[in-house]
């Protein structure tokens, strides 16, 4: 989903007559986009802002209507802009002298508006325990099945059958068009690998299994990286430290701490071993949506982030590379690989913050 964010001053000039002069902010809502564009906002100019696939529906657009004095238009595919209504609400303090910085502030304001952390009630957490347990059980079964000779499509089919048996629904299949139930990423693939009948698991591989379900209206999400037979000691260490960094992060998920405490703990653990922490992807809040606020970065950025409170449910998921932190996305539009081709590891749990500290929901 992408939006043009245009100051009211320019409203009369746009969108049809002066595309090239408009700064377009692409507001990204999925977890990958949040990070890919560094801190959520990506600036592109003119009508070249890419696709507009919308899995959020009108709800979020209505959120935007809380802003005033700015004209917000939905960006459509191609060069056609569909204009939204001018909106009303006080954003006077967003006025700054520089045109560009003002736009940035507006975009940030919009993002802040969308960043509504939804704390869960005890009842909701109980339901999420159910969803998370299903995720954990299926992941363990997939780990059992993940051995030399199996194809990644086989693993996905097994997952799909188990999901049906447990009367849940896959969280990833169909999400922004992802074609499978499990993201399976082997060796230099970091995350979002697409299962294929041509991709055969081999001894020496490390296989990342990232999996989620929807159960009773709530999501559970977890991941692990599985070694196949004997793997190189340095890769074995990468897996060990990545999992350890996950637990270091989870330990910090307690009331009174900040989200950045989780990020810092993960970063400390990974960087003590000189591994590359993937910047473009991160953990997230989870609940009725797969990706909720807040984002949970695996490294320190600016500020402390939101304060952690009981009722917060998070999917924490460090993605750590043996070599460079840099990654790229393959032409399939999904598979993320390390730029240097060296292996990557990924571990994830869905956790709930209780008054006494973190409770891991995706652990059987």
Distances (CA, A) of 308 to 171, 252, 267: 25, 9, 18
The single residue among 33, 156, 188, 221 that binds Mg ion, judged by CB under 5 A, is 221
Q: Which is nearer to Mg ion, 139 or 315 (CB)?
A: 315
Q: Which is nearer to Mg ion, 110 or 327 (CB)?
A: 327
Return d(Cα 70, Cα 49) in angstroms, integer: 20
DSSP string of 302-340, one letter each residue: SS--SBP-TT-EEEE--EEESS-S-EEE-TTSS-EEETT
> Hey, is 17 helix, strand or coil?
coil
CA angle, residues 206, 316, 36, in degrees to nearest 5: 80
Among 3-11, 213-221, 225-233, 267-275, the segment contacting Mg ion (CB under 5 A): 213-221
Q: Which is nearer to Mg ion, 67 or 219 (CB)?
A: 219
Q: Which is nearer to Mg ion, 24 or 250 (CB)?
A: 250
CA angle, residues 64, 67, 73, in degrees to nearest 5: 50
Q: Which is nearer to Mg ion, 11 or 288 (CB)?
A: 288
Least gap, CB of 135 to Mg ion (angstroms): 10
Least gap, CB of 336 to Mg ion (angstroms): 13
Kindly state whether residue 158 participates in binding Mg ion, applying the rule CB under 5 A.
no
Kindly state whether residue 194 participates in binding Mg ion, applying the rule CB under 5 A.
no
Q: Which is nearer to Mg ion, 43 or 289 (CB)?
A: 289
- Considering only residues 309 to 328 of the shown chain, the ones binding Mg ion according to CB under 5 A are 315
Number of residues that bind Mg ion (CB under 5 A): 2
Among 54-62, 95-103, 167-175, 216-224, the segment contacting Mg ion (CB under 5 A): 216-224
DSSP string of 220-284, one letter each residue: EEEEEEEE-SS--HHHHHHHHHHHHHHHHHHHT-STTSBHHHHHHHHHHHHHTTTPEEPSS--EE
Among 125-133, 187-195, 220-228, 239-247, the segment contacting Mg ion (CB under 5 A): 220-228
Q: Which is nearer to Mg ion, 103 or 296 (CB)?
A: 296
Least gap, CB of 218 to Mg ion (angstroms): 14
Least gap, CB of 317 to Mg ion (angstroms): 5
- Phi, psi for residue 340 in degrees, rounded to 5: -95, 0
Least gap, CB of 89 to Mg ion (angstroms): 33
- Cis peptide bond N-terminal to 310, omega within 30: no
Nearest CA-CA partner of 228 in 262, 204, 257: 204
| Site map 42..81 versus Mg ion, x via CB under 5 A | ----------------------------------------
Q: Which is nearer to Mg ion, 201 or 319 (CB)?
A: 319
Return d(Cα 200, Cα 153) in angstroms, integer: 9
Least gap, CB of 179 to Mg ion (angstroms): 18
Q: Residue 112 is encoded by which pair of tokens? A: 């802040």
The CA dihedral of 171, 293, 177, 324, to the nearest 10 degrees, is -100
Least gap, CB of 203 to Mg ion (angstroms): 28
Return d(Cα 169, Cα 84) in angstroms, integer: 34
Least gap, CB of 48 to Mg ion (angstroms): 30
Residue with tokens 């997230």: 284
Q: Which is nearer to Mg ion, 103 or 135 (CB)?
A: 135
The CA dihedral of 325, 326, 332, 333, to the nearest 10 degrees, is 100
Question: Which parts of this chain interact with Mg ion (CB under 5 A)?
Answer: 221, 315
């Amino acid at each position: 989903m992408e939006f043009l964010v245009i100051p009211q001053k320019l409203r009369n000039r746009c969108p049809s007559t002066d595309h090239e002069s408009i700064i377009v902010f692409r507001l990204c809502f999925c977890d990958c986009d949040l990070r890919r564009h560094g801190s959520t906002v990506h600036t592109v100019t003119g009508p070249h802002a890419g696709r507009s696939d919308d899995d959020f529906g009108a709800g979020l657009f209505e959120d935007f209507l809380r802003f005033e004095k700015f004209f917000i238009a939905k960006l459509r595919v191609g060069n056609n802009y569909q204009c939204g209504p001018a909106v009303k609400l006080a954003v006077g303090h967003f006025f700054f002298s520089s045109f560009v910085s003002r736009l940035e502030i507006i975009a940030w304001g919009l993002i802040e508006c969308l960043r509504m952390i939804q704390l869960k009630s005890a009842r909701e957490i109980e339901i999420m325990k159910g969803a998370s347990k299903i995720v954990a059980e299926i992941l363990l079964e997939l780990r059992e099945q993940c051995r030399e000779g199996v194809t990644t499509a086989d693993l996905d089919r097994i997952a799909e059958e188990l999901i049906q048996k447990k009367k849940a629904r896959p969280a990833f299949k169909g999400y922004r068009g992802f074609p499978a139930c499990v993201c399976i990423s082997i060796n230099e693939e970091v995350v979002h690998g697409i299962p294929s009948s041509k991709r055969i698991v081999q001894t020496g591989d490390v296989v990342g299994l990232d999996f989620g379900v929807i159960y009773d209206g709530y999501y559970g999400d977890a991941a692990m990286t599985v070694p196949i037979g004997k793997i190189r000691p340095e890769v074995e260490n990468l897996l060990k430290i990545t999992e350890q960094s996950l637990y270091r992060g989870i330990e910090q998920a307690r009331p009174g701490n900040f989200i950045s405490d989780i990020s810092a703990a993960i970063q400390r653990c990974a960087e003590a071993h000189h591994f590359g922490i993937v910047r473009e992807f991160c953990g997230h809040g989870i609940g009725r949506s797969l990706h909720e606020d807040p984002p949970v970065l695996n490294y320190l950025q600016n500020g402390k982030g939101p304060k952690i409170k009981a009722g917060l449910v998070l999917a924490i998921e460090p993605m750590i590379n043996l070599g460079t932190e840099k990654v790229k996305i393959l032409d399939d539009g999904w598979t993320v690989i390390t730029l240097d081709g060296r292996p990557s590891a990924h571990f994830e749990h869905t956790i709930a913050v209780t008054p006494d500290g973190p409770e891991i929901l995706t652990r059987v």
